[in-house]
Amino acid sequence: MMRFTLPRDMYYGKGALEHLKTLKGKKAIVVLGGGSMKRFGFVDKVLAYLKEAGIETQLFEGVEPDPSVETVMKGAQAMRDFEPDWIIAMGGGSPIDAAKAMWVFYEYPDTSFEAILQPFSFPELRQKAKFLAIPSTSGTATEVTAFSVITDYAKGIKYPLADFNITPDVAIVDPDLAETMPPTLTAHTGMDALTHAIEAYVSTLNSPFTDPLALKAISMVFEYLPDSYNGCMASREQMHYAQCLAGQAFSNALLGIVHSMAHKTGAAFSTGHIPHGCANAIYLPYVIQYNAKDQTAKERYAAIARSVGITGSDSECVAKLCKKIDEYNVKLNIPKTLQEFGIVEAEFKEKVAKIAELAVGDACTGSNPRAITPAEMEKLLTCTYYGTAVEF
């Protein structure tokens, strides 16, 4: 038996934030990130709308990028003190991910991260509150997914939480918020969305329920991302919807090794963090070459290619799809290799074996369409460093 779960309601379109005026409830805690939502006036709007709905509010501000266990516990305590019946998370992926984890510890103060690490093992939520998410970036789609990533800085590990219990009840996908994204963030998050859709489409858990969402998201990203990057707000709006469709697909079909590699290389090098979407964009064409050695995966990549107007045999379609992604990366000023990104060769060589082992063990590897060993992963990562073709 399979399961397909999405938020109960998704409000979208310019000004969709106004839905908050009609929200039914008593108390809402509003979870926020670093302050951009406040600066752009969106927090004031949210508070005014909730007041109109007769809902008492409290802010929980300052969730950091890559939110920590400490922030989650602080937020959960604030929720236990305030006792909201709505948790409203607004901003990029971080405040929304953090609020999802706070929700678990608000409702179950005696549980622990260790206890909820096993995917799809969460206790039953919605005993105290429902969850509403409002994304301001167009990539992670955490407003519709069953996932949250929390970092334990003391132990140096990331907890990838996964359970349909933390799929939000309501998502408000209002493109006005996405207009605040700077160009580089637009490029990186947009390529993250493309990767979500492509990995979901070829995932071993793909299904007739997720395929149409993935294909539509892919065609929309190809159509709108370059103009969105160049400041066209009508395209920015379409990208905000495309990433949400991609999220609906991958929340149910899961991902693949592009994400495994991005997760384990993101913070691995002393030359600085590789932004998640940028890492995905670099790895995607190489992983397609690797996965396409599997016949079923090859056919599915060819189907993606044909859905965006590419013609030819399956092999030609796969090659042209990779070329198209390369061209988009050039348009978006994303490097082609880790070397070009600025990773030092000696450090790469020293660390690649360990990174390969960790990437194979990542939660996203299980649904990749072609199996991979640590030795093969090391070869694949090496191809992404030098820009060599994947011929194994």
Least CB distance to Fe ion at residue 110 (A):
32
Q: Which stretch binds Fe ion (CB under 5 A): 91-99, 188-196, 222-230, 264-272?
A: 188-196
Is 196 or 216 the residue whose CB approaches Fe ion more closely?
Answer: 196
Is 97 a binding residue for Fe ion by CB under 5 A? The answer is no
3-class DSSP assignment, residue 230? coil
Q: Cβ(253)–Cβ(205) under 8 Å?
A: yes
- DSSP one-letter string for 197-213: HHHHHHSTT--TTTHHH
Which tokens go with 365?
Answer: 């590897």
Least CB distance to Fe ion at residue 386 (A):
24
Least CB distance to Fe ion at residue 219 (A):
19
Is 192 a binding residue for Fe ion by CB under 5 A? The answer is yes
Which tokens go with 308?
Answer: 């965006």
Q: Which stretch binds Fe ion (CB under 5 A): 125-133, 187-195, 199-207, 214-222?
A: 187-195
Number of residues that bind Fe ion (CB under 5 A): 1
Is 66 or 192 the residue whose CB approaches Fe ion more closely?
Answer: 192
Is 125 or 287 the residue whose CB approaches Fe ion more closely?
Answer: 287
What end-to-end distance do the CA atoms of the chain give, in Å?
35
- For residue 122, give Cα distances in angstroms to 115, 125, 129, 197: 8, 8, 15, 26
Site string for Fe ion, 45-84 (x = CB under 5 A): ----------------------------------------
Q: State which residue has the least CB distance to Fe ion.
A: 192
Is 362 a binding residue for Fe ion by CB under 5 A? The answer is no
Least CB distance to Fe ion at residue 71 (A):
21
Least CB distance to Fe ion at residue 238 (A):
19
Measured in degrees and rounded to the nearest 5, phi and psi for residue 267 equal -120, 25
Which tokens go with 182?
Answer: 């700077």
Which residue blocks in 230-362 are alpha helix, DSSP H? 233-253, 257-265, 276-291, 295-307, 314-331, 338-341, 345-360
Which residue blocks in 266-312 are alpha helix, DSSP H? 276-291, 295-307
Q: What percent of the chain is helix, strand and coil (3-state, nearest 5)? A: 55, 10, 35
Q: Which stretch binds Fe ion (CB under 5 A): 90-98, 184-192, 327-335, 376-384?
A: 184-192
Contact set with Fe ion (CB under 5 A): 192
